[in-house]
Structure 1
Amino acid sequence: MKALIVIDYTNDFVATDGALTCGEPGQAIEGRIGELIRDFLAEGDFVVMAVDAHREQDPYHPETGLYPPHNIIGTSGRNLYGRIQDIYEEFEDTIHWMDKTRYSAFQGTDLALLLRTRGITEIHLVGVCTDICVLHTAIEGFYNGFSVVIHEDAVASFLPEGHQWALGHFQNQLGMTVRKK
């Protein structure tokens, strides 16, 4: 069994006016992420929306001093970007929404348990940012014993060099599959 994990594909990370946007590179993958969600659902696979959740000016969160406030609970910045929000609403009873408070979707969540109880051994990662949250989720998935597939045409980042570095790291240092369409 396999699962698709859509990481941080929200207004704050993708929209032109998002609080911490990767902009056009993130917007360019919207269609492919939508295709993959529909494909995984059609095959009866598990789909997870792993969405960053922050409290404004949380003095105890390690990202507070690193980035401007983003994905603040209760704001439209946490809504999924574009048509992905529409797809989520259409399949809300089937797609699992999961708040996360760290880069990795595994850290401080029950994601590993959710996957294991469903017999899932292979995870497919899409979303933003390739060299931050996708990277940390991939590494923790690797250390939790899951086979990890990164969809190169469905991940994006702020910096092209960070994006390229992460794709190489997935493949060359971690032995993960980096899949092109």
Structure 2
Amino acid sequence: MKKALLVIDYTRDFVATDGALTCGIPGQLIEQRISSLIQTFHTQGECIFFLNDLHQKQDPHHPESSLFPPHNIEGTDGRLLYGSIQTIYEKIKSQPNVFSIDKTRYSAFAGTPLALLLNERGIRELTLVGVCTDICILHTAVDAYNLGYDCTIYTDGVASFNKTGHEWALQHFKSSLGFTIKND
């Protein structure tokens, strides 16, 4: 079975200490796991998808505009990947199995070509990492479940600014979606 790694919203605005909508230290602590998984998937020749939130400056029509402060605005440094992940991405981005997709909703499947690209490549097994566990990871996971993908989520590969929501989402992935949760 072919696999893919989905690196979701691991951007400066969501992770850096001074990010516009940061989960801060919890997000920073998962950098090593994400880096390790990218290296593993890359070495194995598996697909890697970098799925990043994209917003327009002062967009009153986007549903998140009334929920969160402006973040991941097009053309800003806040959209760059956080820390060593940006460096790794720059080194591998030209590879045919590495994709960068902008998303404008919580789920990486909503309004993007993600499902089409996965299906074209015969991918049925996904590993999800990034932020925030109880928002974009959760909504992507539910869509993946509804589309019939098998998923793995590393507890040290996802984070949130809401500890209660993070823990609830991890339990939901396991008990309601039947996903594999790894703690190593």
Do the two structures share a fold, i.e. TM-score over 0.5? Answer: yes
Shorter-chain TM range is over 0.9
Is 1:132 aligned with 2:142? no
How many residues end up aligned between the 2 structures? Answer: 181
State the TM-score, normalizing by the size of structure 2. 0.97
**1:58 to partner: Cα distance:** 0.9
Aligned to 2:18: 17
Runs of 5+ unmatched residues, structure 1: none
1:115 and 2:115 matched: no
* 1:82-131 per-position Cα deviation (integer Å, ceiling 9, x unaligned): 00000000101122100000000000001000001001000100000000
1:48-67 counterparts in 2 under 5 A?
Answer: 48-67=49-68
- 1:103-161 alpha-carbon deviations (Å, 9 max, x no partner): 00000001000001001000100000000000000000110111111111100000111
Alpha-carbon separation, structure 2, partners of 1:20 and 1:66: 11
Q: Distance in 2 between matches of 1:102 and 1:151?
A: 23
Where does residue 167 of structure 1 map in the other structure?
170
**For each residue in 1:39-69, what CA deviation from the matched residue of structure 2 results, as whole angstroms up to 9, or x when unmatched?**
0010110000000000012121100010000
Kindly, what percent of the aligned residue pairs are identical? Answer: 59
The Cα shift of 1:4 comes to 0.2
Aligned counterparts of 1:29 and 1:151: Cα–Cα separation in 2: 10
AA aligned opposite 1:40? F
- Give the distance between the partners of 1:100 and 1:92, measured in 2 at CA: 18
Q: How does 1:1-181 map to 2 (within 5 A)?
A: 1-94=2-95, 95-181=98-184
Question: In structure 1, what residue type is equivalent to 2:81?
Answer: L
CA distance in 2, matches of 1:174, 1:142: 6
Q: Write the distance in 2 (CA, Å) between the matches of 1:85 and 1:145.
A: 30
Return the alpha-carbon distance in structure 1 between the equivalents of residues 39 and 164 of structure 2. 30
The TM-score, its normalising length taken from structure 1, stands at: 0.99
**Whole-angstrom distance in 1 between the partners of 2:53 and 2:29:** 20
Q: CA RMSD in A?
A: 0.6
